[in-house]
Amino acid sequence: MKIISTPLLLGLMLLFTNCHAGNPVKTNATVNSGNVIVLTNETFKQKVFNYDLNKSWKYEGNLPAIVDFYADWCGPCRKLSPMVEELAKKYNGKIIVYKVDTDVQQQLAQSMGISNLPTLLFIPVKGQPRSTVGLVPNETLEKAINEVLLVK
């Protein structure tokens, strides 16, 4: 599956720090789901994209979404997590925010081509998802939400 990124998000992918998936150092961090929905491989296929059935992108949801692919051992992921949770609260009812622990859901991460963390997938209701990799500022996340997800 090919994920298209806007020039702004593509530039940020190269600019900000990220972690390489597959080099886990476990911590005792816990996930505070709040308004964020934690996905498994199966729930991802039901709510976001069933990559087993569909060869091209087909979003399964009714509201735009963000999927945060993270790992507990990833420093930038831990810094990004509170920002993502705040956005879930701020845009509650307008977007859905999901989290995927790539250490627990390794098959899903591999199937989606996630190799660096954190990776955020911005999914409009119609059209192709866009992604960003690494720790990005809150202003950039808000801009992506408004320009990619909430476009009329």
The catalytic position among 9, 21, 71, 77 is 77
- Per the structure block, which two tokens stand in for 143? 């801009």
Cis peptide before 82 (omega within 30 of 0): no
Three-class secondary structure of residue 100 per DSSP: strand
Of 40, 68, 87, whose CA–CA distance to 134 is shortest? 68
The catalytic position among 9, 19, 67, 74 is 74
How far apart CA 42 and CA 141 sit, in angstroms, is 27
The per-residue DSSP string of 9-62 comes to: HHHHHHHS--EETT-----------TTEEE--HHHHHHHT--TTT-SS-----S
Active site residue 19: no
Query: Which residues does the annotation mark as catalytic?
Result: 74, 77
